[in-house]
């Protein structure tokens, strides 16, 4: 299998295992990723970590040989497959962390963009080079990248096909942190920072932020009101407030 799904401490680990091809995405691998994400959604874990096998690449993008000689319908279905697969990350009941351990180009960067958080080793390089092939990103890159780093920087990366190194990626907010040594170990340690929180509250917080990106602020405030009210109705909220009052650590049960 080119996609491995295992458990690591309180986290699930999805690893692309095609290092000889820099973990490039074929359509069959996209289907494997989709199946793995459906599977892991029912696991009792606190986070999903996504990474690539080897030391050179997180994922170098699409398998270009598969992209040629297809009908217009097949091309559209290919884009829809990639978008639908990566959208599953946003519907997981726990956060996801991309552990970027080298090249993250094209569909590989789009995979990472769909994760809740992104960490990178110092040798990482990130970009959407599709324009150099006469193409544009099709797995969500044109939509997620500007939401993360802003329109101006996104246009530069997409229209110039510009690659950014890890330090710049951190500076512009494309990755949250740089990690030394193992990207997976760094991601596990990062996940520990939110692992003890209520998964319900974490999910509501992310939903409030992401939904607000597409509406005027007055509509976003209504969304926040509704979701924060919903958060108050959970048993975890009562536990959290009780623990604060009683000066003890909260023991959340995700309910």
Report, as residue numbers or ranges, the catalytic residues: 110, 130
| CB 217 within 8 Å of CB 211 | no
Indicate if the alpha-carbon torsion angle 206, 142, 149, 25 is positive or negative.
positive
For 33, 43, 86, 181, 240, the CA distances from 54, given in Å and listed in that order, are 18, 26, 22, 13, 41
Of 112, 226, 127, whose CA–CA distance to 168 is shortest?
A: 127
Supply the Cα-derived Rg of the chain in whole angstroms.
Answer: 19
Query: Which strand ranges, in their side-by-side order, compose the sheet holding 47-52?
Result: 3-8, 11-16, 47-52, 96-100, 117-121, 177-179
């Amino acid at each position: 299998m080119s996609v491995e799904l295992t458990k690591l401490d309180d986290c699930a680990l999805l690893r692309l295992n095609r290092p000889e091809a820099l973990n490039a995405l074929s359509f069959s691998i996209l289907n494997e990723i989709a199946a793995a994400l459906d599977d892991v959604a029912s696991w009792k874990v606190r986070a999903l970590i996504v990474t690539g096998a080897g030391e050179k690449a997180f994922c170098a993008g699409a398998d270009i040989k598969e992209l040629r000689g297809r009908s217009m319908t097949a091309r559209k279905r290919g884009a829809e497959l990639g978008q639908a697969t990566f959208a599953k990350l946003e519907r997981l009941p726990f956060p996801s962390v991309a552990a970027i351990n080298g090249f993250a180009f094209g569909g590989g960067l789009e995979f990472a963009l769909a994760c809740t958080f992104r960490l990178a080793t110092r040798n990482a390089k990130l970009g959407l080079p599709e324009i150099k092939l006469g193409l544009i990103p099709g797995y969500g890159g044109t939509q997620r990248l500007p939401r993360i780093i802003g329109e101006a920087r996104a246009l530069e990366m997409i229209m110039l096909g510009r690659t950014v190194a890890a330090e710049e990626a951190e500076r512009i907010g494309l990755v949250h942190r740089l990690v030394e040594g193992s990207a997976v170990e760094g991601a596990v340690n990062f996940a520990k920072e939110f692992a003890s929180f209520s998964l319900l509250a974490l999910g509501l917080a992310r939903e409030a932020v992401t939904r607000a990106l597409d509406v005027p602020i007055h509509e976003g405030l209504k969304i926040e009101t509704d979701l924060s009210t919903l958060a108050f109705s959970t048993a975890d909220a009562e536990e959290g407030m009780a623990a604060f009052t009683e000066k003890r650590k909260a023991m959340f049960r995700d309910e």
